[in-house]
């Protein structure tokens, strides 16, 4: 049972990370209206893109740390799944 949960986690963790990154990027895109109220429209577009990319990078970093933390808690991580080569 635990082995099956671990395999499911390995298959789904990257997908969930991807959804988090897309959600963070779209949340950053929605910041345009805030930036448009405090600056001109061309600067607001640039600040919106910086916000969206910044939120995506932060989300990716935090979700990777969480994923690697959970990966170390798996029963037999090397036989369960292989995440990326940089995790070993």
Digit-coded pLDDT (tens) for 10-57? 778 888 889 999 999 999 999 999 999 999 989 999 999 999 999 999
pLDDT grade for 77, boundaries at 50, 70 and 90: low
Distance between CA 11 and CA 55 in Å, rounded? 24
Q: Which pTM does this prediction carry?
A: 0.76
pLDDT grade for 62, boundaries at 50, 70 and 90: very high
pLDDT grade for 84, boundaries at 50, 70 and 90: low
Distance between CA 14 and CA 83 in Å, rounded? 9
């Amino acid at each position: 049972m635990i082995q099956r949960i671990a395999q499911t986690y390995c298959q789904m963790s990257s997908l969930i990370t991807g959804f988090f990154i897309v959600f963070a990027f779209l949340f950053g895109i929605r910041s345009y209206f805030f930036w448009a109220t405090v600056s001109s429209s061309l600067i607001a577009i640039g600040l919106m893109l910086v916000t969206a990319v910044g939120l995506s990078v932060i989300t990716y970093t935090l979700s990777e740390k969480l994923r690697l933390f959970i990966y170390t808690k798996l029963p037999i991580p090397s036989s369960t799944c292989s995440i990326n080569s940089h995790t070993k």
